[in-house]
Structure 1
């Protein structure tokens, strides 16, 4: 079990890279998927950090988790310019 948790850093890193790629998209749904991937990566990093006693990493991931929740919420609502065009 310990080896599995040690190896968790690799999928966490991969999910983080995919999330960064998606968040950079101009497509709102891809950006939202990117923030959801970031949230998954936050959880993976917290699990790995807990196992490795990496308390600063855990605190960083909690802060990033909150920002990613904000990003998900802001991407779920239409942009200011989109509201005017729809009216």
Structure 2
């Protein structure tokens, strides 16, 4: 959970691209850790939620990269 909070702070509160990129990767690590815990605990709803959240994060990053390329 600490990784999730740190990732949120880096991704949302930072104006520097490098920190936001680090926050993105920390979010993905956080999603993976939640999935591992969910599988271990047989909490399949948590696993599904984390897979969905990771997918949304990846989709958002791809969308942002496309906007950055078209804006340059």
Give 2:11's aligned residue.
Answer: 23
**TM-score when normalising by structure 1:** 0.69
CA contact (8 A) 1:46 1:58 kept: yes
Give the paired residue count.
70
Q: Which has the larger radius of gyration?
A: 1
Give 1:51's aligned residue.
Answer: 40
- How do 1:35-46 and structure 2 match up within 5 A? 35-46=24-35
Unaligned runs of 5+ in 1: 1-12
Larger RCO: Structure 1 or Structure 2 (Cα < 8 Å, ≥ 6 residues apart)? 1
**TM-score when normalising by structure 2:** 0.81
CA RMSD of aligned residues (A): 1.9
